[in-house]
Structure 1
């Protein structure tokens, strides 16, 4: 799990583009670009590419250092992957991602995560240690100035699915609250279809008192948002493409949202949205 393999076939990771713009786009010589069909096959077969020797370039052909690209946001950029005759990636061309690119990256992630996995040799007596390690890995790369590594999310998901399949859903009688929250974190950061698949199990755990109801509320809102349906608790915010500012994602029954939030242990929506400088002035019906 700790081996850092860059999974470009799954995520088409993009980084900042260093260069002066050129009218003529650079194309590597004696290399060919991997097709979408090949990338889909790699995702389905869980085939990983080792990129230690690959060179990153911008659309003008200028080399970009790996130290520089590791510090930058991965969501807005796309990588074209060029391989030699042996199928080894030699060059990665960075360009601005289009809406089609973003949709394709999501498709690859979904294909990889949905692929059936075989139960690994998990020792159920060590599930406390396993969940503690997963919690640590998930949170460390999402805090401070650490680099986001999508491989960690993939490996965490595989481990959690295996643990549940072999040992059953843990309870607070077996593990502590932080270890239980590790399970929620992994599914919250997974593909939406996987969230929906495991949501009933997580919701039942919340009813049993093993997971916070507030966490399940956040997951339900996220599922609804990705399904392009109105959310219930107001936990999801999105960027406005015109203003580049945060705004509240579509919310049903706005006048009673605080009542619903209180039922699951969440603070008033107007207070919650302050962290994104969003004002919520809808009068609440008590």
Structure 2
């Protein structure tokens, strides 16, 4: 009997030591997806969702992996759960190449109709004129940045062309900032129910692209808007990080990049407590640092990052 108890305790202890957290399963799933091993990605997402079912972002990515793995039943299940838990970007879902294989299925129309009803309900009592104005501002902001990135990502980007686009971008940003500041000063931070999804995003992106003094002015307003459900906490995280770095502090969520002076490579800018950054990011609905870095084509190695950060701080302190 004693031997049996010892055996059971050993098994339980082994199981405990080998237990994976939700974030660990999701990280494995995302890594497999980037490696185009979609079947294994789906398997890991399934394990993650047995532990927790909260993040619409994770459900959306899982739906994409399932679609690529030709597991359509799971794809639609997870996409619908993503919509139920907060997904609202109807323009993106319809052009996402990972989901193209689902378009011919009858369940696809049902999912899109469901999402459209949700989006329509959000803006049912919106200020239509203001919503249209802000949607145009959002499109203006994103279009010029898309043009800039298309040139920037070419093997040998044309510096003159980048400078030219940059000047146009600055001019557009200045015009858009005047319009958005007037709205914020007169009416405060307006939620999606008033200005629609893109209108609400416009308020954020224009302030995100403003100078420091204007970011500092409207940061408290956005914090309050998040508390009241009028702004996205993930967007606030980006603004918090940008302001912190501009003030000479470390960022909190790792959303901002900078150029390493030694290697001349783009890297994640200095942040507080790197060990727990994924936990902080999860709290505001952002994916892991590994996922974010991969999208930005940045190499992410936590231990290497901490070492470089410590060396940088040591060098900086020696100069003071």
Deviation at 1:255, TM superposition (A): 1.1
Provide the rounded CA distance (Å) in 1 between the counterparts of 2:275 and 2:188.
Answer: 40
Aligned to 1:222: 242
User: Are the structure 2 counterparts of residues 125 and 176 from structure 1 closer, same or farther at C-alpha, using a change threshold of 3 Å?
Assistant: closer
Q: Do the aligned residues in 1 keep the contact of 2:188 with 2:221 (CA within 8 Å)?
A: no
Residue 139 of structure 2: which of 136, 140, 143 is its match?
A: 136
- One of 256, 276, 300 as aligned partner of 1:236: 256
Match of 2:298 among 245, 265, 277: 277
Q: In the comparison of the two structures, how many residue pairs are matched?
A: 160
**Aligned counterparts of 1:125 and 1:268: Cα–Cα separation in 2:** 36
Query: Do residues 263 (structure 1) and 266 (structure 2) align?
Result: no
Greater fraction strand: 1
SS in 2 for 1:229: coil
Structure 1 spans left out of the alignment, 5+ residues: 1-123
Q: Which moved more, 1:130-139 or 1:270-279?
A: 270-279
Deviation of 1:125 after TM superposition, in Å, equals 6.4
> Pick from 200, 222, 227: which aligns with 1:180?
200
**Structure whose CA Rg is larger:** 2
Alpha-carbon distance between aligned partners in 2 of 1:158 and 1:278, rounded to the nearest angstrom: 38
Deviation, 1:137, is: 0.8
Instruction: Note the C-alpha offset of 1:165.
Output: 2.2
Aligned to 2:130: 127
Could you tell me which runs of 5 or more consecutive residues in structure 2 were left unpaired when the two chains were aligned.
1-126, 152-164, 305-320
In 2: Cα distance, 1:143 partner to 1:179 partner: 19
2:225 counterpart (188, 197, 205)? 205
Partner SS, residue 222 of structure 2: helix
Partners of 1:163 and 1:153 in 2: CA distance: 15
**1:115 match:** none
Give distance in 2, aligned partners of 1:216 and 1:252. 17
Structure with the bigger RCO (C-alpha within 8 Å, sep 6+) is 1
1:131-171 deviation digits (Å, cap 9, x = unpaired): 01110110110113483311100000000111222333322
